[in-house]
Amino acid sequence: MTRMASAATEAQLREETERWLLPLVGREVDQLCIDFAVTLVVDGTDTVRLATAFTLELDGQAHTVDPEQTATILPALGLLRAVVVAAYAGKDGRLELRFDGDRVLRCEPDEDYEAWEVGGGLPPVSSSYHILAQAGGGVAVI
């Protein structure tokens, strides 16, 4: 794991043995942006950008969403107005977000690309932070 975190960043992200806890809990997805990635905007200040395929569990069904295949993106719309109840970035590069209504998003690391990145904050009101999955596994905290 690469670690370039400042003291302000660590106040936002909380490190555990196997993962980082992301400061998204209790907050709402208020925008979805679709381009060559799927981006969730949380409370207008934080973003979760998913650049590779990810799994989304909705109503007990698992869907694979691939930002490069627009026909697969529709299930991601089910996250609009969802409230985050848990958010983790595994030190192995896995991302897991849990939302109200038993919705779960999981993104695995990619061998060749940064599969996801999460960042935000609203300086000077709150500290900024940035964490991403490194190509080949692991995470970088910036």
Total number of domains constituting the chain: 1
Angle at 84 between CA 110 and CA 126, to 5 degrees: 90
SS3 label, residue 137: coil
Q: Provide the pLDDT for residue 53.
A: 98
Q: Which two tokens stand for residue 80?
A: 């609009």
Specify the length of the chain in residues.
142
Q: What is the pLDDT of residue 11?
A: 37
Residue 50: the pLDDT is 98
End-to-end CA distance of the chain: 11
Q: Which residues contact 58 (CB under 8 A, 6 or more apart)?
A: 75, 78, 103
Range of the domain at 126: 2-141
Q: Can you give the pLDDT at residue 47?
A: 96
Q: pLDDT at position 121, please? A: 80
CA dihedral 23, 28, 34, 38 (to 10 degrees): 40
In tens digits, the chain (142 residues) has pLDDT values of 433 333 333 338 999 999 999 999 999 999 999 999 999 999 999 999 999 999 999 999 999 999 999 999 999 999 999 999 999 999 999 999 999 999 999 999 999 999 999 999 877 766 789 999 999 999 999 8
Per-residue pLDDT, 12: 82
Instruction: Give the whole-angstrom CA distance, residue 34 versus residue 45.
Output: 17
